[in-house]
Structure 1
Amino acid sequence: MPTLREQYKAAVDRLAELAKTAQDEDRDFTEDEVTEVTELSAKADELDAKVKAADAAQAAAAKHAGRTAPPASLQVKDRQEDGDVGTFGERFVKSNLYAEFRKAHPTGLGQGSAVDIGRVKVGSMKEWLSGRKATEAPLQVALGHVAPVRMPMVDQVDRDNLTILDLISRGQASGPFEYLQVTGVTRNAAIVPDEILPGDANVKPTSTIQTELADAKPYTYADGYDVTNALLSDAPALATYMNSELEYSLDSVIEDKLLNGAGTAGEPRGILNTTGVQELTYTPGANAMEQVKAIRRAITRITTLPGGNVTACLMSPEDDEAWDLLQDTADRFMGQGPFGQGPNTSWGRARALSQRLAPGTVILGDWRQVALLDVEGLSILAFNQHKDYAQRNLVYVRAELRAEQVIWKPNRLIVVKPAAA
């Protein structure tokens, strides 16, 4: 029999499904759907109350049994107070599991102490990505179309470098699903006579869409880092450390799989290994000029597609440097120069950087066709049953995001790279 939590999740998932269906079909709820939504909403409220009551009863029973909580290793998700806010690090150190850990070790961890705080859910992918530039409404419109404004002396507009996570779409999913990747479209729309006689060659046209079946599967994107027992016991310092390291750790692994995922051996399929992504090669020269020209040709490849659009060009830091160092015959810098400041562009499209791309390789196109879908949100684990950490007074802290990545229209992306020697 499903648990209370499973019943509650099923009711909430069904409500979300009904709402999405009505939204996608641009219509109001039917009479039957109104009845179902009303019943499901009441059932979800009732189940939510029962879950909270069960949690309170379990805590009370544990207290009177002479122990503060069940073993941390048995707790897979922390129960946080409703409305809890703050950074991810603050949410972790304010969670019930961390509070129980600190209560059990008020003076800090001793030599050889076992650490297994358990899994603490600290937020959703949407919250983690809420500060990304692409989530801001003005940038969604003008991400790859920087206004041609030049200051008289110094460009005082300071913009941070873009990354792949600023470019892609994001959303939610409840589990694995199959979808059709659009690898090509042939449009034959035309004006035809009102009457077509038998044997007439001017038949009504037919357009075709080339597709390929693809799987979207949830994967756990994870990375970890080492902390000392002393830092683990210092809540403010631990929260500060986690806030700086958490974003970098997950950004690194997600970016790598979005680009280089093999699609086998437990990895999602990245852009560089996806069938249907276009390719254009060029012969490198003494400077970046041949790459500059190749990117312009690649832009044409995308923009001549029906509805094709280039929102940004993703390149390595080495190529970004080569672009900035381009000079004319009088040794004048073609770009901003060493004293300039402002947006970096490639033929009017924003230049984004990735350390996961080999120098010479650039990916450009409509990055909205790539999406990262949240499945279970963001969680943090801390334990010292890792290598010989217990003997060294070290703790392994791991951040995990359960999500799946999709590429809706691979042919809207193109990889520009040097020709094979």
Structure 2
Amino acid sequence: MQKVQYPRDFARKNAGSADDKLEIKGLLDSLKERDAEIKSWCEKATNEIKETGKVAGETKSALEKLSEEGIKANARILELEQKLARRGGGDDNVVKSIGEMMTESDDFKAFAQKGRGTARINLKAVSNITSATSGQGGVGVAIAPDRLAGVQGPALRQFVVRDLIMPGRTASNAIEYVQESGFTNSAAPVAEGAQKPQSDLSFELKTTTVKTIAHWFRASKQVLADVPLLQSYINGRAIYGLKYVEEAQLLSGDGTGQNILGLIPQATAFDDDRRVTGDTRIDTLRHAILQVRLAEYRATGIVLNPVDWEGIELQKDSTGQYIWVNVQDGGQQRMWKLPVVDTTAIAEGEFLVGAFDLAAQVFDREDAAVEVSTEDADNFTKNMVTIRAEERLAMAVYRPESFVHGTFAAA
């Protein structure tokens, strides 16, 4: 087998002028220095874009100049390599073409003398070039995937419960309100000169305290600077995390420790005596609306799990026609003149009906906000950043009997 040597690094392997080799080495060293300088100017340009929204003229000119110098240096290196390749360095180092190797082979010389026969040369087989990342011929590491901008986040819950409740604000850490706890109404028709009957009222002082919902993340300053929009994405997820817990607290918080006392734990239980054999979900909700009405309040909303709302929309009459919506156009989420909000924050099979805008109120002490700090000693020495999200709020339920909570009967 005849050995074939392919050109790789002419400045190192091929014989040539010592001066040309020195010049190539100098050019390579200058290119390394230029790369370091370009990196420095690029970092400066990035900071300028963050601060002013554009790259300064001085920075732009410097980068253009470095780019031009690099192009000239690369061209000069190529010229010197070609020069050294042409000069050669002895028979062992001369790179021969396949045609030259063929004409110099013994088989070809014999073929030329005899005028017949076959001439062959043996060459080392070259591996197939593939997208593999390892092995001969694998060039997969040179293939760069397209990276889409931003971060693809998961599906997010829509928060609907707070929108039903009357809003408010507070500047304190607690809310106090006086609630009527008893009323004896003795009012009656009275004859002239007769003794008038006495009625009685009793009151109770109620207190609800402001609760804090918070969490935090930690990230390096470098990653926040190097990954575009990462901090804003973290901030958005931080606020989402607060609102996610807030909705669960407003609906189902048990009031222990730092938990808010939610609507469901304070609601009046659905009166099962109102159920009638054959009741559907629609019938059950109408009974609950009546129960609120009999407590002298008018319901303003209904909260359901999406599974139960689907069950209502899929109900059909005896002919197989949908009774609730036109499937081509859908319909508004309303029932018995009331808005219906569906959320996975309430368990499947449960419902809550109530006078949300009259009998309950949410008080914001501090709106949900995100703060960033490097003041912690550990953060400062490790170039870390702490991102904290926090909100403070309280909820008062003035009339628990104006909310009715229950479960649908098993199908």
TM-score for both structures, normalised by structure 1:
0.50
Alignment-mate amino acid for residue 179 of structure 1: Y
Alignment-mate amino acid for residue 176 of structure 2: E
Task: Give the superposition deviation at 1:352.
Answer: 1.0
User: Tell me, which stretches of 5 or more residues in structure 2 are unaligned?
Assistant: 1-49, 52-157
Residues of 1 paired with 2:178 and 2:408: CA distance? Answer: 30
The worse-fitting range, judged by mean Cα deviation, of 248-257 and 395-404 is 395-404
What is aligned with 1:179?
177
Q: Does 1:291 align with 2:281?
A: yes
SS at match of 1:215: strand
What is aligned with 2:138?
none
SS at match of 2:280: helix
Task: Give the superposition deviation at 1:223.
Answer: 4.4
What is aligned with 1:271?
263
Q: Does 1:248 align with 2:240?
A: yes
- Find 1:168's aligned residue among 141, 165, 174: 165
Note closer, same or farther for the CA distance 1:332–1:182 as it changes in structure 2 (3 Å cut).
farther
Task: Give the superposition deviation at 1:189.
Answer: 7.7
Is the Cα–Cα contact under 8 Å of residues 364 and 414 in structure 1 kept in the other structure? yes
SS at match of 1:253: helix
Note closer, same or farther for the CA distance 1:260–1:417 as it changes in structure 2 (3 Å cut).
same
SS at match of 2:194: coil
For each residue in 1:19-50, what CA deviation from the matched residue of structure 2 results, as whole angstroms up to 9, or x when unmatched? xxxxxxxxxxxxxxxxxxxxxxxxxxxxxxxx
Q: Which has the larger radius of gyration?
A: 2
- Find 2:333's aligned residue among 329, 336, 344: 344
1:3-402 alignment, distance < 5 Å: 163-175=160-172, 176-181=174-179, 188=185, 192-193=189-190, 195-198=192-195, 203-204=196-197, 206=199, 208=201, 213-224=205-216, 232-233=224-225, 237-238=229-230, 241=233, 244-274=236-266, 277-280=267-270, 282=272, 289-306=279-296, 308-368=297-357, 369-382=359-372, 397-402=387-392
Q: CA RMSD in A?
A: 4.1
Note closer, same or farther for the CA distance 1:172–1:237 as it changes in structure 2 (3 Å cut).
same
Alignment-mate amino acid for residue 381 of structure 1: E
Note closer, same or farther for the CA distance 1:366–1:330 as it changes in structure 2 (3 Å cut).
same
Is the Cα–Cα contact under 8 Å of residues 280 and 416 in structure 1 kept in the other structure? yes
* Matched residue count: 250
For each residue in 1:68-125, what CA deviation from the matched residue of structure 2 results, as whole angstroms up to 9, or x when unmatched? xxxxxxxxxxxxxxxxxxxxxxxxxxxxxx98xxxxxxxxxxxxxxxxxxxxxxxxxx
Is the Cα–Cα contact under 8 Å of residues 175 and 210 in structure 2 kept in the other structure? no
Alignment-mate amino acid for residue 303 of structure 1: R
Residues of 2 paired with 1:329 and 1:228: CA distance? Answer: 64
Note closer, same or farther for the CA distance 1:353–1:385 as it changes in structure 2 (3 Å cut).
farther
Is the Cα–Cα contact under 8 Å of residues 232 and 238 in structure 1 kept in the other structure? yes
What is aligned with 1:33?
none
Is the Cα–Cα contact under 8 Å of residues 315 and 353 in structure 1 kept in the other structure? yes
SS at match of 1:298: helix
Task: Give the superposition deviation at 1:357.
Answer: 1.0
Note closer, same or farther for the CA distance 1:355–1:395 as it changes in structure 2 (3 Å cut).
farther
Comparing both chains, which one has the higher relative contact order based on Cα–Cα distances under 8 Å and sequence gaps of 6 or more? 1
Note closer, same or farther for the CA distance 1:376–1:248 as it changes in structure 2 (3 Å cut).
closer
What is aligned with 2:66?
none
Residues of 2 paired with 1:405 and 1:378: CA distance? Answer: 16
Note closer, same or farther for the CA distance 1:197–1:313 as it changes in structure 2 (3 Å cut).
same
Is the Cα–Cα contact under 8 Å of residues 305 and 342 in structure 2 kept in the other structure? yes
The worse-fitting range, judged by mean Cα deviation, of 223-232 and 308-317 is 223-232
Is the Cα–Cα contact under 8 Å of residues 352 and 404 in structure 2 kept in the other structure? yes
Task: Give the superposition deviation at 1:247.
Answer: 4.8
Note closer, same or farther for the CA distance 1:383–1:289 as it changes in structure 2 (3 Å cut).
farther
User: Tell me, which stretches of 5 or more residues in structure 1 are unaligned?
Assistant: 1-97, 100-160
SS at match of 1:216: strand
What is aligned with 1:61?
none
Is the Cα–Cα contact under 8 Å of residues 238 and 370 in structure 2 kept in the other structure? no
Note closer, same or farther for the CA distance 1:219–1:345 as it changes in structure 2 (3 Å cut).
same
SS at match of 2:270: strand
Note closer, same or farther for the CA distance 1:313–1:223 as it changes in structure 2 (3 Å cut).
farther
Note closer, same or farther for the CA distance 1:253–1:298 as it changes in structure 2 (3 Å cut).
same
Alignment-mate amino acid for residue 177 of structure 2: Y
SS at match of 1:362: strand
SS at match of 1:338: coil
Task: Give the superposition deviation at 1:304.
Answer: 2.4
Task: Give the superposition deviation at 1:182.
Answer: 5.2
